[in-house]
Amino acid sequence: MRKLLSTGYSDGAFNFALLVQRVVTGLLLLIGHGLPKISNFSELSGSFYDPFRIGHRYSLILVILAELFCSMFIVLGLFTRIAAFIIVVDLSIAVFIYHHGQPFKNVDLGAIYLASVFTVMIVGPGRVSVDGMMGK
């Protein structure tokens, strides 16, 4: 009970919490967003949101790279900060541009993902990661 009310934490608890955050957020993005986009590529490629005016297909490819491959890197803790930065850009566009003016229920999950990945980008992957084992 004392630990529950304490503001202190151990290195082990901190690294375990980062591991859980990285793996859960990365897998949710990968399974819930990356895989469906690659599975439905042909249906989505003609009308996918194109904020940079590079073409619907190329915008979809960039989002798949972020939500599929960068999510895998975050789960593994490999090139974590770079992968997290790419996902932060992706999710910022989704939350602040694509969903702008929409009801909160369309934005809240993306904002939670954004906050979680932003935290990983700032704090890093922790010791229980490929980056941590390589001493990065």
The per-residue pLDDT for range 86-133, each reduced to its tens digit, is: 999 999 999 998 888 878 777 889 999 999 999 999 999 999 999 988
- The pLDDT assigned to 8 comes to 80
Identify which of 36, 18, 46, 31 has the alpha carbon closest to the alpha carbon of residue 132: 18
The model's pTM is: 0.89
88 contact partners, CB below 8 Å, separation of at least 6: 114, 117, 118, 121
- Find the Cα–Cα–Cα–Cα dihedral 88, 89, 93, 94, rounded to 10°: -40
- Write out the two tokens for 98: 């694509």
